[in-house]
Structure 1
Amino acid sequence: MTPVLHLLDEIDSTNAEARRRAEAGETAVQWIVARRQAAGRGRRGREWNSETGNLFATLLTLTRKPPAEAAQVTFVAALAVADLLDAFAVPGVVSIKWPNDVMLDGDKASGILIESGTHASAALWLAVGIGVNLAHAPDATERPATSLASHLRSDIAYPPSVEAAATVLAEAFAIWQTRWETLGFAPILDAWTTRTQGLDGPCVARLGHETVTGIADGVAPDGALRLRTADGQLRLISAGDVFFGPDAHERAA
């Protein structure tokens, strides 16, 4: 059953609201959706542009999975966002960039931020934060960004409303989550891999304390990126800013 969906006109951050509800002891699985965020956040504390007309949503859920396994939910989220965009976009333009950036014609159209903590019930709470550029794309971003409005099918005049997009996203997420819960991570990773580009070419991973350059060599069974360096060493990258393609080094500089 699809969780309840709370639609708010404005909030500081849907992830922050999910954290507050989790720390208050709430146990209901729920989507928190806002028309506008006053303090949206991306990975590593980066500001997330929150223009009205775009989708800002967080799923709050509980799990008994260990933290490393629970982190696989980021792949579930990426597949759900891809399904949302596929429902309205020109065929063939939706793809995923490792691990969870969903792209439209090669430009970033969404972001996913997973946060977690220990619930009063001793379960792990997960806040699966998702932002999707429905109507607008931010300017002056580190990587080129786009919006669904720029890639709509010819029979669709306008991007979906926040309410409609949230409903499609929640339904798609529920399908993938059920597969993950009942069949394990392998079918999730298989579906994710078919949508993901750059897993067999030049790659640069910017990890904060170091930058690793090499050739992407697919992904490990847990979803970590396999990166083979020039000296033949195989590095497993679980998190970081990763750039793919022949110009990866220039874009990572």
Structure 2
Amino acid sequence: MGFSLSPLAQQNGFRMEAFDTVGSTNAVALERAQAGDPGRLWVVSKKQESGRGRRGRAWATSHGNLAASLLLTGTFELKTAATLGFVAGLSLADALDAVCPQGAVSLGVDGIGSSVSDLRVELKWPNDLLANKAKLAGILLESTHLPDGRFAVVVGIGVNVVAYPEDVPYPATSLKQLGAACDAETLFLALSDAWQENSRIWDEGRGLAEIRKRWLKRAAGIGSEVAVRVDGSVLRGIFETIDEDCRFVIRDNDGERVKIAAGDVHFGAVASASAG
């Protein structure tokens, strides 16, 4: 089975460029934008060799994982475009709900079985997706100005379908590890479909309040202790919510309510071990 777009995505004018192996789907999408592509283009691959994560971190994927980048062009504000990460997270979570089979069993390293029907998918601010508290996917937004005065934004989505990195300072997992019999092509088909509904609700930022409401229903760590690394310093407190602009809101140790626009978030034991 090869990659394909959902019928609804095709009806709405979305296109796709698929690779078996690629350096970076985000880089290809940005190149297409500079070459005059009108947008609504998905660039997808089952292997990414030189991808990028947040803050310039390397993000390579094993063959069989999903790397998908969506190129969009427009005139809306960059601040508004930044909230597309929340649209992407919701769309991926909805896609996983659609394709993960119920009742499949995975045996962990301790020999204990876990059922996919018990899978807990959560969204971790700003742009990660967790499955049973371990990182399953990451999202990276990049943008560029175009010669005609518009700008392009690329929504990059990387999912650990068959393998996950083991040399990272946080728990990670893959769909295979969780017992889900789903391949990259099946997941992308569902993702391209789920994007249609969530982007319709988002409506170039006009529906952000509803996106925020939906995101909070899937949010990881609300009410728990958190440490946020911001520009070399660490803020600690309790994660309360995200505000109307999707900023991270914590109640710090002095009882003050702090709003954070960008930072690395760590919960619980990982907060103590990794963010200090």
Return the TM-score normalized by structure 2.
0.85
C-alpha distance in 2, partners of 1:163/1:7? 10
CA drift of 1:41 comes to 1.1
CA drift of 1:246 comes to 5.8
CA drift of 1:108 comes to 0.2
The corresponding residue for 1:224 is 247
Partner amino acid for 2:245?
Answer: D
CA drift of 1:240 comes to 1.0
Moved more, 94-103 or 125-134: 94-103
1:30-49 alignment, distance < 5 Å: 30-49=41-60
> Is residue 93 from structure 1 mapped to residue 120 from structure 2 by the alignment?
yes
The corresponding residue for 2:132 is 105
C-alpha distance in 1, partners of 2:176/2:56? 27
1:123-142 alignment, distance < 5 Å: 123-142=150-169
C-alpha distance in 1, partners of 2:262/2:244? 15
**Partner SS, residue 191 of structure 1:** helix
Task: For residues 57-94 of structure 1, give each alpha carbon's deviation from its aligned partner in whole angstroms, at most 9, with x where no partner exists.
Answer: 10001122111111110000000111122223324411
Judge conservation of contact 1:202–1:246 (CA < 8 Å) in 2: no
Match of 2:172 among 128, 132, 145: 145
CA drift of 1:31 comes to 0.1
C-alpha distance in 2, partners of 1:21/1:86? 31
Match of 2:86 among 71, 75, 89: 75
The corresponding residue for 1:56 is 67
CA drift of 1:247 comes to 5.5
Judge conservation of contact 1:85–1:148 (CA < 8 Å) in 2: no
Moved more, 95-104 or 54-63: 95-104
Match of 1:235 among 241, 251, 258: 258
Unaligned 5+ segments in structure 2 are 1-7, 101-115
**Partner SS, residue 109 of structure 1:** strand
Unaligned 5+ segments in structure 1 are none
Task: For residues 201-249 of structure 1, give each alpha carbon's deviation from its aligned partner in whole angstroms, at most 9, with x where no partner exists.
Answer: 2111011321111122211111101112222222211111111236522
> Is residue 198 from structure 1 mapped to residue 209 from structure 2 by the alignment?
no
The corresponding residue for 2:200 is 178
Partner amino acid for 2:239?
Answer: A
**Partner SS, residue 173 of structure 1:** helix
Task: For residues 89-136 of structure 1, give each alpha carbon's deviation from its aligned partner in whole angstroms, at most 9, with x where no partner exists.
Answer: 324411111122111111000010000111233222110000001111
The corresponding residue for 1:8 is 19
C-alpha distance in 1, partners of 2:45/2:270? 37
CA drift of 1:29 comes to 1.3
Judge conservation of contact 1:199–1:219 (CA < 8 Å) in 2: no
Judge conservation of contact 2:99–2:190 (CA < 8 Å) in 1: no
CA drift of 1:165 comes to 1.7
Partner amino acid for 2:64?
Answer: G
C-alpha distance in 2, partners of 1:218/1:200? 8
> Is residue 167 from structure 1 mapped to residue 172 from structure 2 by the alignment?
no
> Is residue 22 from structure 1 mapped to residue 33 from structure 2 by the alignment?
yes
Task: For residues 145-199 of structure 1, give each alpha carbon's deviation from its aligned partner in whole angstroms, at most 9, with x where no partner exists.
Answer: 100112245xxxx222x22221111111121001110751011111100001212
C-alpha distance in 2, partners of 1:47/1:80? 24
Q: What is the aligned-residue identity percentage?
A: 36
The corresponding residue for 2:3 is none
CA drift of 1:16 comes to 0.5
Partner amino acid for 2:121?
Answer: V
Moved more, 111-120 or 180-189: 180-189
C-alpha distance in 1, partners of 2:188/2:146? 25
Judge conservation of contact 2:170–2:270 (CA < 8 Å) in 1: no
Partner amino acid for 2:139?
Answer: I
